[in-house]
Chain A
Amino acid sequence: MRLKQLYIWTMVTALLLAAYSSVWAAFGEDIEKPKPVFTQEGTDWVSELIPRGKSTPIRIRFNVDGGLLSKPSDIDFTDANRPNINWKNYRSGFFLLDIIPSTPGGEVTLNLSSNYFTSATDIWGFTERKNNTWGTIGIKTKSVKDEPTAISSVIRDGSVLDEDGTADGKIQIIIGPRDSFWGYAIGTLIIRFFGVFLVLSILMIGMLLSGKVFISIEKNKKEATPTSPPSAAPVKEEPEVYEAEPVPVEEIPADVAAAIGLGIHLYTNGGRNLRLPDAGMKAAAAVGLALHLEKTSGTE
């Protein structure tokens, strides 16, 4: 028992130490970093990737109205140099997009669509260059049933989003589709915890109902069991009389006798805590135990 207590205290200490170590390991390493593969479909580009916190791949479609989109690429968090951004909020990563607007200084509409996006998905990028501040780039979300959620945003050549900041006929932007990590983690957690309750409650209701059916079936079965058939003239039968055959004392095997003796011995010495109401039950208990011991040869 002492070893177990020691083990538990060791684990509690480990937890406290680990809590301290987590200061340096803040938000852990990015072991699930998405690795997108880009393919062109007409004028659209499609990125296929496994986002953080998922096991199956998703598709994000990129499309531009009023300009030409070159092949997008993914960009590392450190490369993007956004020190105040928690990459956990960007489960599908960051994208670097090169767009050529139809006129220098002109505007294009960037369209992103994916089944993975929700109505809460936002697109973040630069909102202020001096302090590397990121925020929403101003989006419109369109959700149509059975179709991927579409997000669009108007981007102007030379605006704060444009990496070179000049209206030179080339737009380069770094953006990331954003969903709150903690919002998702806590939200889905609560839903799933109550989901377990819901599932087991449904099972419980199913079992209560089926239990009632079975109880009534059993009850009906018992009622339907035929009792002794009524007869017109009951015949009085002479009850059979069984006479117990006397057991010659000398025929009791030695091991049975020993078992009975042992039973009585156990009862009188080892069974002090047994509280039986009368002498008859005491004797019955002793004989029962003896017979049990004889039958099992004391192995149980």
Chain B
Amino acid sequence: MSWQYVLELIQNILISQTGVPHMTWGHGVMLLIALFFLYLAVGKGFEPLLLLPIGFGIFLVNFPIVPLMGLNAEGHPNLIEYFYQYGVASEIIPCVIFLGLGAMTDFGPLIANPKMLIIGAGAQLGVFVTYVGVLFFGFTLKEAASVGIIGGADGPTTIYLTAKLAPHLLGANALAAYSYMAMVPLIQPPIMRLMTTPEQRRIKMRQLRPVSAREKLLFPLIGCALIVLLIPMVAPLMGMFMFGNFMRESMMVKRLSDTAQNSLMNIVTIFLGLSVGATMQAEVFLNWKPLLIFGFGLLDFVVCTFGGILTVHIMNVFLKEKINPLIGSAGVSAVPMSARVSHVEGLKADPNNWLMMHAMAPNLAGVIGSAAAAGMMIAMFQ
């Protein structure tokens, strides 16, 4: 064995079996992005339940030649590819998350004041405005729809629609959606103040009527039937959402309801975050589209907030009992963050004006509205 041979062997090992020579500037940039999101999650507490696994997913897959995504030599999916294929690409995880969300949701405020559903529809304005906006920037129709839904401020819906229409944008869309959801307390108040007068912010709303347990129990059945009948494409999301809610309101399957809300939700969240993060490999992610997505995502949130408040102003023209326009901003889903923002802004205008329960109604309507918008988009491209 000559020294030459030993050197060649070492060289071969270094080149083919270690990642060091394969590192590119792209990997470096992505690792920095991963660290940035991990910092936001851990250091700043921005949506840590999602941003932490997403950040770690980005971190993991941006080392060269790691067998995590794609197929191995035998043609089998690698570890995170398995999570992605079976969880996200198959659209299972977003639906399971909707099951958990349904089990967590109390529809009481919405049932007591169904007019708030209109605010949930109005707050989808940004979804459609962004859809047109990104088309001007060269996005395809399907990509535009998946970017537009970010403004719905509903993570699982965004992931569900993107996985269906533009899976290559999944990482950017999910990150934009969750980042801006965490920033709702910063994005919304200036728009809310801009679009309302101090008098309007002080409008006091009548206390909501009590909703009986039977009414709450029947809501998921009636709601699901109507929505699924009108937009069949939304059945996977809405069906799971209402099933979770039915379990909760039946009060007969507390164990199942608890599991859906807690253990199951936590398990799928881990796999969802990791898989979504893992789609953001340097070679896929580093182009001009994610930049645009983050820019338009912000615009989307702004227009959705605007749309919700504008809808309240229009409704107030026709209503005898006026609605406080601050709750219009809660029409973007971001449950319960945006409702809390409405409440806090209301308290600033009048310390005795408690808007929380009123704002929860358009907030829940926003969940239904964004899912309906997603269903419409899916139907459009069938």
Contact = CB atoms under 8 A, between A and B. Distances in A.
Interface stretch (A49-57, A77-85, A291-299): A49-57
A25 interface: yes
Contact of B222 (A28, A196, A199, A207): A207
Interface in A183-215: 185-186, 188-189, 192-193, 195-204, 206-208, 210-211, 214-215
Given A200-B121, A202-B230, A11 B294 contact: yes
Interface in B95-152: 110-112, 114-115, 117-118, 120-122, 124-125, 128, 131-132, 135-142, 144
Interface in B172-230: 179, 183, 186-187, 209, 212, 214-215, 218-219, 222-223, 226-227, 230
B380 interface: yes
Interface residues of B, number: 62
Contact of B186 (A8, A16, A182): A8
A218 interface: yes
Nearest to A30: B140
A32 interface: yes
A204 B114 contact: yes
Contact of A4 (B183, B299, B381): B183
A192 B373 contact: yes
A100 to B, nearest CB: 38
B295 A199 contact: no
Nearest to A214: B215
Interface in B217-262: 218-219, 222-223, 226-227, 230-231
Interface string A18-36: 1101100111110110000
Given A52-B141, A54-B381, A55-B382, A11 B295 contact: yes
Interface string A145-179: 00000000000000000000000000000000000
A5 interface: yes
A210 B288 contact: no
Contacts of A199: 121, 226-227, 230-231, 372
Nearest to A54: B381
A14 interface: yes
Contact of B298 (A8, A29, A197, A208): A8
B53 interface: no
A3 interface: yes
Contacts of A26: 138
B128 A193 contact: yes
Given A53-B140, A53-B381, A196-B369, A17 B212 contact: no
Contacts of B132: 185-186, 189
A25 B219 CA distance: 48
Interface string A205-232: 0111011001100100000000000000
Contacts of A55: 142, 164-165, 381-382
**Residue in A8, A11, A25 with the greatest tally of chain B CB atoms within 10 Å:** A11
A203 B226 contact: yes
B376 interface: yes
A7 B118 contact: no
A1 interface: yes
A220 to B, nearest CB: 13
A201 B219 CA distance: 15
A48 B322 CA distance: 56
Contact of B227 (A15, A186, A189, A203): A203
A266 interface: no
A12 interface: yes
A201 B118 contact: yes
A200 B118 contact: yes
A227 to B, nearest CB: 21
Nearest to A205: B114
A19 B137 contact: yes
Contact of B124 (A5, A19, A193): A193
A5 to B, nearest CB: 7
A32 B124 contact: no
Contacts of A192: 128, 373, 376-377, 380
Contacts of B376: 192, 195-196
B138 A208 contact: no
A28 B372 contact: no
B49 interface: no
B108 to A, nearest CB: 12
A5 B295 CA distance: 14
A195 B118 CA distance: 12
Nearest to B131: A189
A182 B135 CA distance: 9
A15 B292 contact: yes
A56 B144 CA distance: 18
Contacts of A182: 135
Contacts of A197: 118, 121-122
16 contacts: A8-B298, A11-B295, A11-B298, A14-B292, A15-B296, A54-B381, A54-B382, A189-B131, A195-B372, A199-B226, A200-B120, A200-B369, A204-B118, A206-B222, A210-B218, A218-B212
Given A8-B186, A203-B117, 5 more contacts: A11-B298, A15-B292, A28-B137, A200-B120, A204-B118
Interface of A: 1, 3-5, 7-8, 11-12, 14-19, 21-22, 25-29, 31-32, 52-56, 182, 185-186, 188-189, 192-193, 195-204, 206-208, 210-211, 214-215, 218
